[in-house]
Chains A and B, each alone.
Chain A
Amino acid sequence: MRHYLDLVRISAKQHKEQNRMTRLCIILAVFLVTVIFGMADMEMRSQMIQAVKTDGSWHAAFAVDDEQGALLSARPEVEIISRYGTLNYHLQDGYQIEGVETGICGFDGELQEMIPDAEISEGSFPETAAEIVINENIRDRLGAKIGDQIGMTMPQGEVRQYRITGIAKNTSLMAEMDAFCVFVNADGFLALHPEETGAAQEILYFVKFRWFCDIQKTIAEISSQFGLAPKQVRQNVKVLMLMFQSGDPYMMEFYLVAGILSVLVVIAGIFMITASMNSNIARRTEFFGMMRCLGATRKQVVRFVRREALHWCRAAIPAGAALGIVVIWILCGMLRFLSPGLFEGLPVFGISIPGAAAGIAVGFVTVLLAARSPARRAAKVSPLAAVSGNAGTVHSARRAARTRLFKVDTALGVHHASGSKKNFFLVTGSFAFSIILFLAFSTAIDFMHHAVTPLRPSAPDISVTKADGAPNQIPYKLEEELADVPGVKRILGRSYAYLTIPADGRTVAAISYSEQQFRISGDLLLEGSLEEAVEGEGVLSVFTEENRMEYGGSVPVSVGEDVVEIPVTGMLSSVPDVPDNTTDTLICSEELFRRLTGADGFTVLDIQLQEDVTDAQVQGIRHRIEQACGGNVVFSDKRIRNQEVKGAYYSLAVFLYGFLAVIALIAFFNIINCIAMSVAARMREYGAMRAIGMSVRQLIRMVLGETVTYTVFGVAIGCLAGLPLNWYLFHSIVTSRWGEVWRIPGRELAVIVGIMLGSVCLAVMGPAGQIRRMTVVDTINRD
């Protein structure tokens, strides 16, 4: 030992047991912050993967001429640049292959590095103007293959021949629109002479800038250099947002929320560590008094406490960060497991640098901040305290326990909790804080269920409509016929019609539902019941802000010469495809729909497919439909789109549920920690009580009394503050948009209160074991 501070190391060895709790607090604080930041980082990465998959990794696109394009590509900030143009985007300009309207994309090969949809799955990119890449729709429907010649008819009737050099995958849009699409190179695209056809053509220069480039500043410079109007410049908003290169308010709010949560977690961490260190120091008041007695100055004592705190950090901070990183790995693994195709880019064993850095920084800062107050307290210990041998052994109580109200053990437990107002406020406040956070954040889950709804039970994989838009022309019998086709899971047919209300001439949209569809929509029922509507004795209205078809009322509609009053027996919050947002919508049974409209077919046939359906089976389904409907159908394949939205949902869900789990963890650890601290601080007193004659069972009842007091008040305050907050948030982000009425979040409350009660049991179990193992003599004689 060369320096008085070397005593820290020696003391740590001697007080391993007592310091364990403090170390655990530091580990928890670092862990929680690492997880919060790591999760935010992971969410950003998964959003980035999604954004690049759907929108591409380009940053900006400029509508400039060739000369400006050359100047643009010479700029040092530009990493990749490619020309890009489209023709016949709306499939109505007359560019056709085998009589089918065909969209044309022309670009340079470099675009494939920026837009995954431009990638060629087989073959190669066209090198000459006479070469072409076709999409899977063309390959499958025309049987074309690489090396074949294919003719494309121009709007003016000329047929140009191209050699197929490759096949591109269907994009979600192409699959949904059932469209033909071809890629040509930029020269080939310019050779199409669109000005002769009157078709819109615009060549855009897609740019990906280098890292560390201020993109907004560069875009502004380019715009001013070339005199570009705002509409001549496009930005890949989502990608730029995720790179912090956009001023978009959504992303800023997202980080604000994460920031606020992190601050709250940091505060919780500071409380945990401060409380732990306070109690650690309180137990060793005599030791610090002795140091002062032996000549240590106040400054030296402060330095000692601070060094001790940093000594704990040495092992605790890396452990907390490592634990946080492991949890992030588990979350990444979950995302990859839930949606392997979409999140394959997410590293399973990646380390979130921002997460770990935040955790470590917060750990150090928290410990140093938390060490300030105990350090000062320790420094204030009088040298006399050591001499009297009585310092720190008698806690000063302000009022006596109420032994008339409760049995003495329970009364003492309640008093231990409520004796010190400051401590009571801090502990119950922190318990309540967890409930408030949980209830507030759970509204984000409700929001997600409404805003991102790809997994609605009714979501179709394939949607069939008549190509000419004619309503109710798909034969009813097709529903039955397709039900047995391999690969089909469920068929949901709907008919649409407008009905007139004779009183004011207003129209309402009517949609027919089968019983199956009614049942699937059960979750969306805001008021009333499904039964009457299923039986054809009533209809369901669909919520709109200015709802004119209220539940309990009736709607008079014209049916031929007559007027029929239909009772509104329920209300749905929303339906997937309302004809338009201004017209009131009612949902009725197929039988009632036929009676009201005389219709004889479906407008839309939604098909849900088995998970293991093959492409050949899908083609088989398509064939059967075309046979039944005479080929005049749009076969909208929504599987890719569903997959994309599902990915977004999973990513958001893992993130939001992850946050809830972290909040629950905070509650759990907080309770365990608070009780363990309290028991550790009073162990000597417990020893004295045992000596006087208190049994182990009574001591445990006392600890339970303390824990239950904190929990009851914590839950009560948490509910009193959390429920109004939950109502407010729910009302502003859910009710106002989707009409769902706020209900007491019983499930969420049950979850968090259940977690708290479980924590209470665990919190008591630890000290109970400690009390059972305690030897009375050693405890009362302990320093």
Chain B
Amino acid sequence: MEILKVENLCKVYGTGEARVQALKQVSFSMERGEFGAVVGVSGSGKSTLLNCIGGLDEANAGKVFLGGKDLFAMGEEERTIFRRQNIGFIFQSFHLIPELDVEQNIAFPLLLDYKKPDQERVDELLEVLGLTDRRKHLPGQLSGGQQQRVAIGRALITHPALVLADEPTGNLDSKSSQDVMDLLCRASRHYQQTVLMITHNMNLTASADRVFRVTDGKLCELGGAA
């Protein structure tokens, strides 16, 4: 079942001499439960692609469909709510809310919907993430690997159709990086969530079903596990 469909996506930054075409007619789609990895050199347009797919950034042309819904046809408020309910984000620098403890950080997208979090689901995630004994800790009291695991929990709590991860292991040591990769694979395999991950590390693409390369704003598929 097709979850994500990207059609002729274009993104341009700047004008005149400073004009940079970050994405050039990018099109691809992903099925439910697929794990995709995006590789490319610095400045190739990987993050721009991820930000456009996630609705954080607006494309100049093209469309992004998630579960059949056109992301850019929505208004700002609608898109925000759609994003928090259907897309999970994982950033390189975690971006946890320092004032919320582990449990609250994980439940944050649900709290934004003014919903009472399902405690069983939170407990299950904490268990899977190996953070049960750290549930009342604040981000400042956690290691980098633990913080990223919290960020993964936050991305998964709403059962999003799509999980976008921008260099999730970029700030982590090899052990923590492996933990994170295991979790993302589990999300894809176990929970049937579509995962699209940006990485520099070609070794990490081994776990991916599909690998894409972005070069000067153009996307090409390298096939499975590059």
Contact = CB atoms under 8 A, between A and B. Distances in A.
Give chain B's interface residue range (CB within 8 Å of chain A).
20 to 34
Interface in B85-144: 85, 89, 91, 93-101, 104, 108-109, 111-112, 114, 136, 138-140
B81 A397 contact: no
A698 B80 CA distance: 11
A407 interface: yes
A124 B102 CA distance: 94
B91 A776 contact: no
A693 B97 contact: no
B5 to A, nearest CB: 21
Contacts of A695: 77, 80-81, 112
B57 interface: yes
A689 B76 CA distance: 15
Interface in A255-288: none
A441 B188 CA distance: 68
Given A397-B98, A401-B99, A407 B114 contact: yes
B69 to A, nearest CB: 16
B32 interface: no
Interface stretch (A234-242, A409-417, A634-642, A710-718): A409-417
Contacts of B104: 400-401, 403, 408
Contacts of A690: 80
A776 B164 CA distance: 15
A393 B138 contact: no
Contact of A691 (B56, B81, B136): B56
A754 interface: no
B98 A416 contact: no
A698 B94 CA distance: 21
A394 B139 contact: yes
A693 B107 CA distance: 12
B51 interface: yes
A777 B154 contact: no
A685 B84 contact: no
Interface in A401-430: 401, 403, 407-409, 412, 415-416, 419
Interface in B40-60: 51, 54, 56-57
Contact of A400 (B89, B112, B138): B138
B63 interface: no
A397 B85 CA distance: 27
A776 B139 CA distance: 22
A396 B154 contact: no
B58 to A, nearest CB: 9
A246 to B, nearest CB: 59
B171 interface: yes
Interface string A355-397: 0000000000000000000000000000000000110011111
Contacts of B213: none
Contacts of B57: 775-777
B83 interface: yes
A412 B84 contact: no
Nearest to B171: A390
A692 B136 contact: no
A389 B81 CA distance: 31
A692 B154 contact: yes
Closest 6 CB pairs of A and B: A693-B84, A688-B95, A408-B111, A400-B101, A396-B140, A695-B80
15 contacts: A394-B96, A394-B98, A394-B139, A395-B98, A396-B140, A397-B99, A397-B139, A407-B111, A408-B114, A688-B95, A692-B89, A695-B112, A696-B80, A775-B57, A777-B57
